[in-house]
A and B are shown apart, each in its own frame.
Chain A
Amino acid sequence: MTDAFVILLATIFVNNFVMVQFLGLCPFMGASQKMDAAIGMAAATTFVLTLTSAVSYLVEHYLLIPFELEYLRIIAFIVIIAALVQFSEIVIRATQPMLHQILGLFIPLITTNRAVLGVALLNVRHAHSFFDSILFGLGAALGFSLLLILFAAIRERLQFADIPLPFEGAAINMITAGILSLAFMGFTGMS
Chain B
Amino acid sequence: MTDLISGLILISTMGCFIAVLLQYSAKRYPEQIDEVVIAINNLLPQTQCAQCDYPGCKPYAEAIANGEDINHCPPGGEELIRNLAVLLGRETKPLDLNFGETKAPSVAVIREAECIGCTFCIKACPVDAIIGAPQQMHSIITEDCTGCELCLEPCPVDCIDMLITQDNLAKTYPLHLLKPVPKPIKSTEVSPCIRCGECEIQCPKSLAPHELYFQRESKTAMEILDLDACIECRICDRACPSHIPLTRIFVETKQRIESEKEKSIAANTAESKFLAHEQRQNQDHKKIRTRASRDDRASILAQLSKNNSGENK
- Residues of A at the B interface (CB closer than 8 Å) are 33-34, 37, 59, 63, 67-69, 71-72, 75-76, 79-80, 83, 86-87, 90-91, 93-95, 97-98, 100-104, 159-160
Of the residues A72, A86, A97, contact of B7 by C-beta under 8 Å: A72
Q: Which residues of A contact B31 (CB under 8 A)?
A: 93-94
Q: Assess whether A33 is in contact with B25, with CB atoms less than 8 Å apart.
A: no
Q: Is B11 an interface residue (CB 8 A)?
A: yes
Known: A33-B89, A98-B35. A90 touches B25 (CB 8 A): yes
Q: Which residues of A contact B36 (CB under 8 A)?
A: 97-98, 100-101
**A157-B18 Cα distance, complex, nearest whole Å:** 42
Q: Assess whether A160 is in contact with B22, with CB atoms less than 8 Å apart.
A: no
Of the residues B11, B22, B30, B34, contact of A86 by C-beta under 8 Å: B22
Q: Assess whether B14 is in contact with A95, with CB atoms less than 8 Å apart.
A: no
Q: Which residues of B contact A104 (CB under 8 A)?
A: 89
Q: Which residues of A contact B26 (CB under 8 A)?
A: 90
Q: How many residues on B have C-beta within 8 angstroms of the other chain's C-beta atoms?
A: 27
Min C-beta distance of B88 to chain A, whole Å: 5
Q: Which residue of A lies closest to B37 (CB)?
A: A97
**A159-B86 Cα distance, complex, nearest whole Å:** 13
Proximity string of chain B (163-199) to chain A, C-beta cutoff 8 Å, 1 when within and 0 when not: 0000000000000000110100000000000000000
Q: Which residues of A contact B3 (CB under 8 A)?
A: 68-69
Q: Name 13 extra pairs, CB < 8 A, besides A91-B25, A94-B31, A101-B89.
A: A67-B6, A68-B3, A72-B11, A79-B11, A79-B18, A83-B21, A90-B26, A91-B29, A95-B32, A97-B32, A97-B33, A97-B34, A103-B89
Q: Which residues of A contact B35 (CB under 8 A)?
A: 97-98
Q: Assess whether A93 is in contact with B182, with CB atoms less than 8 Å apart.
A: no
Q: Assess whether B89 is in contact with A76, with CB atoms less than 8 Å apart.
A: no
**A93-B31 Cα distance, complex, nearest whole Å:** 6
Pair count A-B, CB < 8 A: 71
For the residues of B in contact with A, the DSSP-based class is: helix
Q: Which residue of A lies closest to B14 (CB)?
A: A79
Q: Which residues of A contact B29 (CB under 8 A)?
A: 90-91, 93-95
Q: Assess whether A69 is in contact with B6, with CB atoms less than 8 Å apart.
A: yes
Most chain A C-beta atoms within 10 Å of own C-beta, residue among B11, B89, B179? B89
Q: Is B39 an interface residue (CB 8 A)?
A: yes
Min C-beta distance of A94 to chain B, whole Å: 3
User: What would 14 A/B residue contacts be, using CB atoms closer than 8 Å?
Assistant: A33-B89, A63-B10, A67-B10, A68-B3, A75-B11, A79-B14, A79-B15, A80-B14, A83-B21, A86-B22, A100-B36, A101-B36, A102-B89, A160-B179
**A68-B7 Cα distance, complex, nearest whole Å:** 9
**A59-B32 Cα distance, complex, nearest whole Å:** 33
Q: Which residues of A contact B32 (CB under 8 A)?
A: 93-95, 97
Min C-beta distance of A96 to chain B, whole Å: 9
Proximity string of chain B (4-17) to chain A, C-beta cutoff 8 Å, 1 when within and 0 when not: 00110011001100
Q: Which residues of A contact B30 (CB under 8 A)?
A: 94
**A95-B32 Cα distance, complex, nearest whole Å:** 8
Q: Is B65 an interface residue (CB 8 A)?
A: yes
Min C-beta distance of B179 to chain A, whole Å: 6
**A133-B182 Cα distance, complex, nearest whole Å:** 43
Q: Which residues of A contact B179 (CB under 8 A)?
A: 159-160
Min C-beta distance of A16 to chain B, whole Å: 26
Min C-beta distance of B177 to chain A, whole Å: 13
Q: Assess whether A87 is in contact with B10, with CB atoms less than 8 Å apart.
A: no
**A76-B9 Cα distance, complex, nearest whole Å:** 12
Q: Which residues of B contact A160 (CB under 8 A)?
A: 179-180, 182
Known: A37-B89, A93-B32, A159-B180. A76 touches B10 (CB 8 A): yes
